Amino acid sequence: MANRSPSIRIGDDAPGYDLDCFSIPKNYAQDLEKVFIPHGLIMDRIERLARDVLQDMGGQHIVALCVLKGAYKFFSDLLNAMETLNRNSDQASPITVDFIRVSSYCNDQSTGSVRVLGGADLSSLAGKNVLIVEDIVDTGRTMQALLPLVEQHGPRMVRVASLLVKRTPRSLGYTPDFSGFEIPDRYVVGYAFDYNDYFRDLSHVCTLRETAKDKYALAVQKL
């Protein structure tokens, strides 16, 4: 796509920002290492992603499919930005929403098995322009499992927007159509990214201290 913007690449040795430069909830202050992507930068990047998405998919009914739980903030902010563009355009088409819940992580490790825990009746995707909205592509297993499920319902077009893509040797090689930032192989939390469900309620994307991984660890279960 000619007009699709490049992902912002964050280098392997990016130092991040001191926590003291930002407002961090007291309860998490001891658990975080650095602010890695400030909330304001996330919002600025989303504004451009919204334009990229509408240039590619607009003019037809878009069904935006949110991959819960991690994508809920990105989903909401991306759709708000798309709605703003539609309000100011001569050629707007409807955007409807659906939600699917998928889980693959225990502590900070991808378990390798992707579980669809419920949500959307995907038959409503037939003939539609489907935008799958994901928080992060790490190994790519989630997308590899989800895309065939969506495709089998006969959508007109399927695109994937992921806020983050991780550079990792564990990658299966999948790259989303729209990507906000490419990040090094570190575990990040905040802006709905979680560690065992904690840290979603943090507005910046941050890196975790090792001590926090123990503090919020779950007993490893067989999934």
Q: Which residues here bind Mg ion, judged by CB under 5 A? A: 70, 135
The residue range among 41-49, 79-87, 115-123, 137-145 that interacts with ligand IMP, by the rule CB under 6 A, is 137-145
Q: Are 143 and 166 in contact (CB under 8 A)?
A: no
Q: One-letter amino acid identity for 210?
A: E
Per DSSP bridges, beta strands 205-208 and 188-189 are: antiparallel
Which entry of ligand IMP, Mg ion, none binds 181, CB below 5 to 8 A by partner kind?
Answer: none
Query: From CA 130, how far away is CA 18, in angstroms rounded?
Result: 39
Residue 31 sits in the site that holds ligand IMP (CB under 6 A): no
Residue number with CB closer to ligand IMP (63 or 136)? 136
Interaction of residue 107 with ligand IMP, rule CB under 6 A: no
Write out the H or E segment, with its range, that includes residue 7. none
Q: Which does 141 bind (CB under 5 to 8 A by kind): Mg ion, ligand IMP, none?
A: ligand IMP
Q: What are phi and psi of 87, to 5 degrees?
A: -65, -25
Question: For this structure, is 138 an active site residue?
Answer: yes
Half-sphere exposure in the Cβ direction for 105 (13 Å, CA): 19
Q: How far is the CB of 100 from Mg ion (least distance, A)?
A: 10
Query: Using the rule CB under 6 A, which residue among 39, 141, 159, 204 binds ligand IMP?
Result: 141
CB of 42 closer than 8 Å to CB of 191? yes
Q: Name, in order, each residue with C-beta under 8 angstroms of 35's C-beta and a sequence gap of 6 or more.
A: 16, 17, 18, 19, 21, 22, 24, 204, 205, 206
Site string for ligand IMP, 63-102 (x = CB under 6 A): -------x--------------------------------
Binding residue for ligand IMP, selected from 5, 93, 110, 175, defined by CB under 6 A: 110
Among 209, 188, 192, residue whose Cα is nearest residue 200: 192
Partner interacting with residue 31 (select from ligand IMP, Mg ion, none; CB below 5-8 Å by kind): none
The one catalytic residue in 138, 197, 201, 214 is 138
Please list the residues that pair with 155 across neighbouring strands: none
Residue 11 is given by DSSP the state P
Burial class (CB in 10 A: 0-12, 13-18, 19+), 103: middle
Return the residue of 191, 193, 207, 212 that touches ligand IMP, per CB under 6 A: 193
Q: Which of 28, 36, 74, 105 binds ligand IMP (CB under 6 A)?
A: 105
Catalytic residue set: 138
Under the rule (CB under 6 A), what is the footprint of ligand IMP? 70, 104-105, 110, 134-142, 166, 187-188, 193-194
